[in-house]
Amino acid sequence: MNLDNPRDMPVGFVMSLSMDMQAMTNFALLSDQDKEQIISYIEASTTGDEAKARIKESISSLHNQSL
């Protein structure tokens, strides 16, 4: 997975990051391993609603630097 390429990340996550500059900045500062953990957490969702909830939770945590 190329974490510098948004095509390798869930679309909803990329869209949510693009609307929250603080979360985007904090995501960019994470290690590749931490980025992969967040993406894997989102991709492990079994339903669309669960994926949306995980994206929202991840963006909030990134925004507040509480990961």
The length of the chain, given as a count of residues: 67
Query: What's the whole-model pTM score?
Result: 0.88
Domain count within the chain: 1
Q: What is the pLDDT of residue 7?
A: 66
Q: Which structural domain, as residue segments, surrounds residue 56? A: 36-67
For residue 24, tell me if it sits in a domain.
Answer: no
pLDDT, residue 66, reads 87
Q: Does residue 52 sit within a domain? A: yes
Which amino acid would we find at residue 34? Answer: D
User: Can you list the residues of the chain whose pLDDT is less than 50?
Assistant: none
pLDDT per residue over 41-60, tens digit each? Answer: 999 999 999 999 999 999 99
pLDDT at 4: 61
